[in-house]
Amino acid sequence: MEETDKIKKKTVISALSLFFQSGYSAVLGLIANLVLTILLTPSIFGIYITLLALISFLNYFSDIGLAASLIQKKEITDEDVKTTFTVQQILIICLVIIGFFSTNFIMDFYKLPLPGRYLYWALLISFFISSLKTIPSVFLERKIQFQKIVLTQIVENTVFYITVTVLAVFGFNLNSFSLAVIFRAIVGLIVIYSLSFWKPKVGISLKSLKSLLSFGLPFQTSSFLAIFKDDFIVLYLGKVIGFEALGYIGWAKKWAEAPIRIIMDNLSRVLFPVIARIQHDKEKISRLV
């Protein structure tokens, strides 16, 4: 009973923390976007949205559900953690290399200006840096300590929006986003490791990998439709209608989806590790659902 009360308390604290973070980011983002819409053209927003969608697409193939499998497992071993980290880094490094060598194709396909190349490279670098946060984040999610993850996200978002706004004021235009995403990734990495330190270890256990993939692959596959809906469409529109029109659509889409992102996404994120902790008790799970 005492353990159940602890889980309930952690769940409430985590959910409220995520709601606060989402609300804070929404307000901060709205203020920053109001300033940026004055300083930057819609086409700059369109370029940023398109390249961000491209990195999100790469991110889909960077994990194959291993992190989710770690969160879901009742008990995890050092071999599980080490295997997840190693496999994920191998995948990410391969994707970053492929992405880097695809630069000219991306530039020609979307007819990007030179600053677009720097933004694309900045997003690839931040993609790699952010991947190093996975294991510390998994540990916090398993403990249902989302308030620490929230603190990291608040710092990241604050750094990003302040940086991009200040740089835009000084006329950096598209390069404002390039520098901002790098700063956000570096600061986020420092903060998460200060809250949930883990010394990276490299190695692959085939037994652990097989066990993790048995849950991870089906889990990852289930989210493919969301990737198609959210990112493929953006990549298609960026080519077909141009960056200026996509800038308006992306801005509207972000704020239209705010309620579901703030409420449903946050609840789902908290409930996943909570259910994993009580997976042995079907009666508790049924009451929770």
Query: Can you give the pLDDT at residue 2?
Result: 52
Contacts (Cβ under 8 Å, ≥6 apart) of 1: none
Which sign, positive or negative, has the C-alpha torsion 190, 35, 147, 181?
negative
| CA distance linking residue 84 with residue 93, whole number of Å | 14
**10-residue stretch averages of pLDDT, the chain, 289 residues long:** 67 76 76 81 85 78 77 86 92 92 92 92 93 91 86 91 92 91 94 92 89 80 69 79 83 74 74 74 74
Element housing 2 (H / E): helix 2-39
Query: Can you give the pLDDT at residue 177?
Result: 92
Query: Can you give the pLDDT at residue 121?
Result: 95
| CA distance linking residue 285 with residue 288, whole number of Å | 5
Query: Can you give the pLDDT at residue 123?
Result: 92
Backbone dihedral region for residue 228 (phi beyond 0: left; psi -120 to 50: alpha; all else: beta): alpha
pLDDT digits (tens, 9 = 90+) for 61-83: 666 778 888 888 888 889 999 99
| pTM for this prediction | 0.83
* Sequence ranges of the domains in the chain: 2-288
Query: Can you give the pLDDT at residue 96?
Result: 93
Query: Can you give the pLDDT at residue 48?
Result: 87
| CA distance linking residue 29 with residue 238, whole number of Å | 22
| CA distance linking residue 270 with residue 141, whole number of Å | 8
C-beta separation of 46 from 250 below 8 A: yes
Query: Can you give the pLDDT at residue 271?
Result: 76
| CA distance linking residue 93 with residue 104, whole number of Å | 19
Complete DSSP assignment for 12-54 = HHHHHHHHHHHHHHHHHHHHHHHHHHHHS-HHHHHHHHHHHHH
Backbone dihedral region for residue 171 (phi beyond 0: left; psi -120 to 50: alpha; all else: beta): left
pLDDT digits (tens, 9 = 90+) for 243-257: 888 888 877 777 777
> 42, 185, 165, 193: which is closest to 124 by C-alpha?
185
Query: Can you give the pLDDT at residue 4?
Result: 66
> 53, 26, 50, 42: which is closest to 230 by C-alpha?
53
